[in-house]
Amino acid sequence: MVHVVSETGGRKGKDYCILYNPQWAHLPHDLGKASLLQLRDWTASVLCSPPDLPAKGFSNQIPLVARGNCTFYEKVRLAQGGGARGLLIVSKETLVPPGGNKTQYDEIGIPVALLSHKDMLDIFKSFGRAVRVALYAPGEPMLDYNMVIIFVMAVGTVALGGYWAGSRDVRKRCMKHKRDDGPEKQEDEAVDVTPVMICVFVVMCCSMLVLLYYFYDQLVYVIIGIFCLSSSTGLYSCLSPLVQRLPLGRCRVPNNSLPYFHKRPRVSMLLLALLCLAVSVVWGVFRNEDQWAWILQDALGVAFCLYMLKTIRLPTFKACTLLLLVLFVYDVFFVFVTPFLTKSGNSIMVEVATGPSDSATHEKLPMVLKVPRLNASPLALCDRPFSLLGFGDILVPAYGIGLLVTFMALALMQRGQPALLYLVPCTLVTSCALALWRRELGMFWTGSGFAKDVPQSPWAPPSADDPQPQKDSDTSLPRPPPGEELAKCPPPPEQPPEVSVPEETGAGAPPQEPVSPVGCTPEPTSLVGASA
Catalytic: 393? Answer: yes
Give dist(CA 226, CA 214) in Å, integer. Answer: 19
H/E stretch holding 210 reads helix 195-214
Give dist(CA 15, CA 4) in Å, integer. Answer: 6
Rg (CA), the chain: 33
H/E stretch holding 393 reads helix 392-395
Give dist(CA 237, CA 234) in Å, integer. Answer: 5
Q: What are the φ and ψ backbone dihedral angles of 223, each rounded to 5 degrees?
A: -65, -40
Q: What are the φ and ψ backbone dihedral angles of 212, each rounded to 5 degrees?
A: -65, -35
Question: Residue 107 pairs with which residues in a beta bridge?
Answer: none
Catalytic: 331? Answer: yes
C-alpha dihedral (512, 514, 518, 523), degrees to nearest 10: -100
CA-based nearest residue to 484, from 510, 427, 523: 523
User: Catalytic one among 30, 290, 331, 472?
Assistant: 331
Question: Residue 176 pairs with which residues in a beta bridge?
Answer: none
Q: Is 112 helix (H, G, I), strand (E, B) or coil?
A: strand
CB 225 within 8 Å of CB 285: no
User: Catalytic one among 15, 52, 298, 393?
Assistant: 393
Give dist(CA 119, CA 4) in Å, integer. Answer: 11
How far is C-alpha 135 from the geometric centre of its chain's CA atoms? 36
Q: Is 136 helix (H, G, I), strand (E, B) or coil?
A: coil
Give dist(CA 333, CA 450) in Å, integer. Answer: 37
Residues 6+ apart with CB under 8 A from 234: 300, 303, 304, 305, 306, 307, 308
H/E stretch holding 368 reads strand 368-372
b/e map of 256-282 (b: 16 or more CB within 10 Å)? eeeeeeeeeebebbeebbeebbebbee
Rounded to a whole number, what is the largest CA-CA distance in the chain?
125
- The conformation of residue 132, written as its DSSP 8-state character, comes to E
H/E stretch holding 328 reads helix 317-332
Give dist(CA 524, CA 521) in Å, integer. Answer: 8
Question: Residue 112 pairs with which residues in a beta bridge?
Answer: 87
- Let me know if 8 is exposed, middle or buried by CB neighbors in 10 A (0-12, 13-18, 19+): exposed
Residues 6+ apart with CB under 8 A from 5: 12, 13, 36, 127, 131, 132, 133
Residues labelled as active-site residues = 331, 393
